[in-house]
Amino acid sequence: MSDIDTITGSGLQAVLWDMDGTLLESENLWDTGLRRLSEHLGGPMTEETREATIGSSTPFALATVFDSLGLVRTPQALAEARTWLYSLMGEMFAAGLPWRPGAREALGLVRSLGLGSVLVTNTERELCDFALGILGREHFDHSVCGDEVPAGKPDPAPYLRAAELLDVDPGRCLAVEDSPTGAASAEAAGCTVLVVPSLVVVPAGPRRVFRDTLVGLTAADLPSLYSLVTV
């Protein structure tokens, strides 16, 4: 039986990819950016705030930083903070976005097997389009950004939208994530979640399987990982 036949028999129809910390080493850049924003706004970022913002949407991250500093979240203040942060992030993205280990090969593998593929990120379109130039748009059927859904991760909306764009059931999708926020989003949408942690520990969950790295991922691994929580 061929790899494609094995995957078809498993019921897996698509792989949905987180970006920051999963495909690209950009989670560290967001961490740096938010720390510098916190300093810019009035004080250092605590470890509690740092962990709360990993993998989060921009509005949630800004609100968390403001609250940690005791700042009033007026629309103008939040807009000015976003502009400051995105200017900084744009500079850091332009300086270079290295791949996570095994990510480039994993994207190519999924494409070669004919599975659907969607990039699902809390990063807003403004910066996501820059990153897509590095990742290669040819690897994805669609992309879903944090400012294109009613609510970002950990809400299930981003993953539900990705499945909708492919016209597949979320339960037929394997989501690849690195953070508790992203894993919660994909799990709530009904996806099987392959967790490859980067900066923080991700707790176990009923629809989560774990792997230390994407390095060495094979065609046989995909239906095997998917089937661990769907049998």
The pLDDT tens digits of the residues spanning 132-151 come to 999 999 999 999 999 999 99
Looking at the fold, whether 136 and 57 belong to one and the same domain comes out as no
Looking at the fold, whether 130 and 51 belong to one and the same domain comes out as no
Looking at the fold, whether 132 and 207 belong to one and the same domain comes out as yes
Residue 111 above 80 pLDDT? yes
Full domain range(s) for residue 176: 3-25+99-227
Looking at the fold, whether 166 and 179 belong to one and the same domain comes out as yes
**16: nearest Cα among 160, 211, 200:** 160
Q: How many angstroms separate the CA atoms of 154 and 157, rounded?
A: 9
Of the candidates 69, 95, 121, which is a domain's last residue?
A: 95
**CATH code for the domain of 31:** 1.10.150
Looking at the fold, whether 17 and 124 belong to one and the same domain comes out as yes
Q: What is the pLDDT of residue 5?
A: 65
Helices (H), the chain: 3-10, 27-41, 47-53, 58-68, 75-95, 103-112, 125-135, 157-166, 180-189, 221-227
Looking at the fold, whether 105 and 163 belong to one and the same domain comes out as yes
Of the candidates 95, 113, 135, which is a domain's last residue?
A: 95
Looking at the fold, whether 131 and 195 belong to one and the same domain comes out as yes
Looking at the fold, whether 44 and 67 belong to one and the same domain comes out as yes
Number of domains in the chain: 2
Q: What is the pLDDT of residue 107?
A: 97
Question: CA dist 117 to 13, 45, 112, 223, Å?
Answer: 9, 36, 11, 15
**CATH code for the domain of 135:** 3.40.50.1000
Looking at the fold, whether 81 and 132 belong to one and the same domain comes out as no
The pLDDT tens digits of the residues spanning 194-217 come to 999 998 899 999 999 999 999 999
Looking at the fold, whether 12 and 80 belong to one and the same domain comes out as no
Of the candidates 65, 95, 125, which is a domain's last residue?
A: 95
Q: What is the pLDDT of residue 75?
A: 96
Mean pLDDT of the chain: 93
Residue 29 above 80 pLDDT? yes
Looking at the fold, whether 49 and 157 belong to one and the same domain comes out as no
Looking at the fold, whether 83 and 109 belong to one and the same domain comes out as no
Q: How confident is the model at residue 1 (pLDDT cuts 50, 70, 90)?
A: low
